[in-house]
Structure 1
Amino acid sequence: MSAQHHVLRAVGLSLLAALLFTSTYVLNRAVAVGGGHWAWTAALRYLFMLPLLLPLMHWQGGIAPVWRSLRAAPGAWLGWSSVGFALFYGLLSAAAASGPSWLVAGSFQMTAVAGMLSAPLLYRDARARIPRTGFTVGVLIVTGVLLMQFGNAHGTLTPSAWLALACVLVSAFAYPLGNRGLLLHLERRGEPLNATQRVFGMTLASQPAWWALALWAWTQTGPPPAAQMEAIFVVALVSGVAATILFFHASGMVRSNPTALGAVEAMQASEVVFAALLGVMFLGEPWPHGQALFGGLLVVAGIALFAWVVAHEAARDQRDVQALRSERGR
């Protein structure tokens, strides 16, 4: 497979993950409106994910390498899992209880630039540089998302919506930071765990946080209602297992390419477009118009531009490598 096809495949997998991730916002908001406590929403997803992942491990490299890595460096696993899973999803679930799903879905798309902005904090090599072209396209995508937000908000936000916005913005940085941090830790230790093993390991390492949150939720509201458990089981299967593995696989494929990694993360911005399209197709919601429509078109344009940028850079890098090999062969 050529370098160009490799990065485009990673971008495509991230887009597919974004489509599956979209279910999270609608179902979480439906649970919150139905009276389900946000803490149960967060805890149940990852308590369900662990048994759902177990059958996959037999075909995905097994549990033993993950367990060895956890025992060798428990602090790193607990730390990055707390950031990338516990902080990310705890705040995202709390936001669903405070603001509408369109606000949560749209605001989370700050991930289009969050991963790139966190690069200088993590890396000590060429990856610490924020890719100028990728960041510019990421800002274009965020601009489109903000226009969709303002179009939906009709210019006003309630105090609870502002609280939701703050929670989601922190969550948007925590998710790529946790993923990148663990990838870097494994790279330094020379442990080639695949996407499923990484998701399983982070789910396992974050279990103490989820059991503590579930215990607190029990003291607040008692056991979760059956409807909430059913909805969160779907979220755990579709978003927690399928979408997360796809996203982790895509980011792992391009971990050494800052622009391509930023593109993979930026594809999550398509969730707000998918949410709007699914609402029109299945919920009878009106088509976006005015600012919201223009913002959606900007997001789509940014996604297409990012795909072109990473494909162009990959083709250029491949030509440079071939030219270098040709010179050495003379």
Structure 2
Amino acid sequence: MSPSRRALPAVALSLLSALFFTATYVLNRAAALEGGHWAWTAALRYLFVLPLLLPLMPWQGGVAPVWRAIRGAPGAWLLWSGVGFFLFYALLCYAAASGPSWLVAGTFQVTALAGMLCAPLLYDDARARIPRAGFAVAALIVAGVLLMQLGHAQGALDAGGWLALACVGASAFAYPLGNRGLLLHLEKRGIELNATQRVFGLTLASQPAWLALSLWAWTQAGPPPAAQLGLAFGVALSAGVIATILFFQATGMVRDNGTALGAVEAMQAAEVLIAALLGALFLGEAWPRGQALSGALVVVAGIALFAWVVARDAARDRREVRALRSDRGG
């Protein structure tokens, strides 16, 4: 299957992962409302993810290839796990107390732009080019995010709001940077690992950082309460295992197509609506209104436009293949 024709299934997988990723925002917000320390919320997810992944590994290529890859280049695995898992999630949990789950979910959607902006820093081939159509749509999504933020804050953010916005924004850059960085590292070394193996490897490599954060959390807040343990386990299963594997599978399918890769990352914007719905149903949060609702609708429009761009490219690729076959037949 050509890279463009793989794009649409990859986008569909990314949308499915967004459903499971949304548990992150809703359950983390629930933990924050109950007084759980953000550092425990962050560390517990990945401490739980590792044993949850272990039973899957015999059916997903095994642990041995992952361990060989880590031993061959431990620095790269520590770097990209530190960026893509530790920095990403620690910052996201710190911001969870800043506002309703849909607001944090919406702000994270600057990742649609972040992934493309990271490309020139990572690649030295055609993937380093920032696709104009994809960049324009991603910028539209970011504009929707800003509308949501300002609408929720009645036109002005206080110091805490700006700090939370900065944390989520940095988190949104860290996640695609860590994912793309590891994919490029494996590509250069000629190592083939599937999505589950990559998630397991990054989780394993990030364990020292999570253990250190756990020790710090213990000194700050003591042991985590039972309710926080339960919420963290739910996040680990839904977002840490199911959603992350689906998302890594989707990005791996289109790693050679810059526009499609950006579209896959942008599909996570669906989390905004899912988080708003679940937050209203289970946490008593108000549905976004006025300017915030307008921003959410702009984000949704961006999702639809990105899907259209990918479908257009896939259709063009099919036409070119048919024309080539016709020329050869003649």
> Structure 1 residues 281, 316: closer, same or farther in 2, change over 3 A?
same
Code of the aligned partner of 1:82: G
SS of 2:59's equivalent in the other structure is coil
1:225 and 2:225 aligned: yes
Residue in 1 aligned with 2:28? 28
Taking structure 1 as the reference length, the TM-score comes to 0.94
SS of 1:203's equivalent in the other structure is helix
How far residue 85 of structure 1 moved from its aligned partner, in angstroms, is 0.3
Does the CA-based 8 Å contact 2:148-2:291 persist in structure 1? Answer: yes
Deviations 1:213-269, CA, capped at 9 Å, x for gaps: 111111222211111111000000001111111111101010000000000011111
How far residue 113 of structure 1 moved from its aligned partner, in angstroms, is 0.5
Code of the aligned partner of 2:271: E
Report the Cα distance in structure 2 between the residues aligned to 1:284 and 1:179, rounded to whole angstroms.
34
SS of 1:255's equivalent in the other structure is coil
Deviations 1:167-188, CA, capped at 9 Å, x for gaps: 1111110000000000001111
Which runs of 5 or more structure 1 residues have no equivalent in the other structure?
Answer: none
Higher deviation after alignment, 300-309 or 63-72 = 300-309
SS of 1:171's equivalent in the other structure is helix
Residue in 2 aligned with 1:46? 46
Residue in 2 aligned with 1:171? 171
How far residue 197 of structure 1 moved from its aligned partner, in angstroms, is 0.4
Higher deviation after alignment, 304-313 or 248-257 = 304-313
Give 4+ residue runs of structure 1 displaced > 4 Å after superposition.
Answer: 1-5, 280-287, 324-330
How far residue 303 of structure 1 moved from its aligned partner, in angstroms, is 1.1
Match runs of 1:238-249 below 5 Å: 238-249=238-249
Code of the aligned partner of 2:110: M
Code of the aligned partner of 1:276: A
Identity %: 75
How far residue 324 of structure 1 moved from its aligned partner, in angstroms, is 4.3
Report the Cα distance in structure 2 between the residues aligned to 1:145 and 1:170, rounded to whole angstroms.
14
Code of the aligned partner of 1:136: A
Q: How many residues were matched structurally?
A: 330
Does the CA-based 8 Å contact 1:145-1:269 persist in structure 2? Answer: no
Which runs of 5 or more structure 2 residues have no equivalent in the other structure?
Answer: none
Code of the aligned partner of 2:18: A
Taking structure 2 as the reference length, the TM-score comes to 0.94
Residue in 2 aligned with 1:310? 310
Deviations 1:287-313, CA, capped at 9 Å, x for gaps: 443223322222222111111111111
SS of 1:130's equivalent in the other structure is coil
SS of 2:36's equivalent in the other structure is coil
Report the Cα distance in structure 2 between the residues aligned to 1:49 and 1:120, rounded to whole angstroms.
32
Match runs of 1:104-115 below 5 Å: 104-115=104-115
Report the Cα distance in structure 2 between the residues aligned to 1:58 and 1:101, rounded to whole angstroms.
36
Residue in 2 aligned with 1:122? 122
Code of the aligned partner of 1:84: G
> Structure 1 residues 224, 181: closer, same or farther in 2, change over 3 A?
same
Does the CA-based 8 Å contact 1:3-1:318 persist in structure 2? Answer: no
* Structure 1 vs Structure 2 CA RMSD: 1.9
Does the CA-based 8 Å contact 1:43-1:213 persist in structure 2? Answer: yes
How far residue 329 of structure 1 moved from its aligned partner, in angstroms, is 6.8
Does the CA-based 8 Å contact 2:5-2:317 persist in structure 1? Answer: no
Higher deviation after alignment, 41-50 or 213-222 = 213-222
Code of the aligned partner of 1:93: C
Deviations 1:11-34, CA, capped at 9 Å, x for gaps: 111111112111111211221222
Deviations 1:74-93, CA, capped at 9 Å, x for gaps: 11111101000011011111
SS of 1:58's equivalent in the other structure is helix
Deviations 1:153-210, CA, capped at 9 Å, x for gaps: 2223232222111111111100000000000011111111010000000000000000
> Structure 1 residues 36, 285: closer, same or farther in 2, change over 3 A?
closer
Code of the aligned partner of 1:71: R
> Structure 1 residues 31, 37: closer, same or farther in 2, change over 3 A?
same
Higher deviation after alignment, 2-11 or 300-309 = 2-11
Does the CA-based 8 Å contact 2:101-2:279 persist in structure 1? Answer: no
SS of 1:304's equivalent in the other structure is helix
Residue in 2 aligned with 1:271? 271
Does the CA-based 8 Å contact 1:100-1:161 persist in structure 2? Answer: no
Report the Cα distance in structure 2 between the residues aligned to 1:269 and 1:203, rounded to whole angstroms.
24
Higher deviation after alignment, 93-102 or 23-32 = 93-102
Residue in 2 aligned with 1:301? 301
Report the Cα distance in structure 2 between the residues aligned to 1:185 and 1:168, rounded to whole angstroms.
26
Does the CA-based 8 Å contact 2:106-2:296 persist in structure 1? Answer: no
Match runs of 1:1-330 below 5 Å: 5-282=5-282, 287-324=287-324, 327=327
> Structure 1 residues 46, 187: closer, same or farther in 2, change over 3 A?
same
Report the Cα distance in structure 1 between the residues aligned to 2:267 and 2:29, rounded to whole angstroms.
22
Report the Cα distance in structure 1 between the residues aligned to 2:85 and 2:136, rounded to whole angstroms.
28
Code of the aligned partner of 2:135: F
Does the CA-based 8 Å contact 1:106-1:146 persist in structure 2? Answer: no
Does the CA-based 8 Å contact 1:99-1:160 persist in structure 2? Answer: no
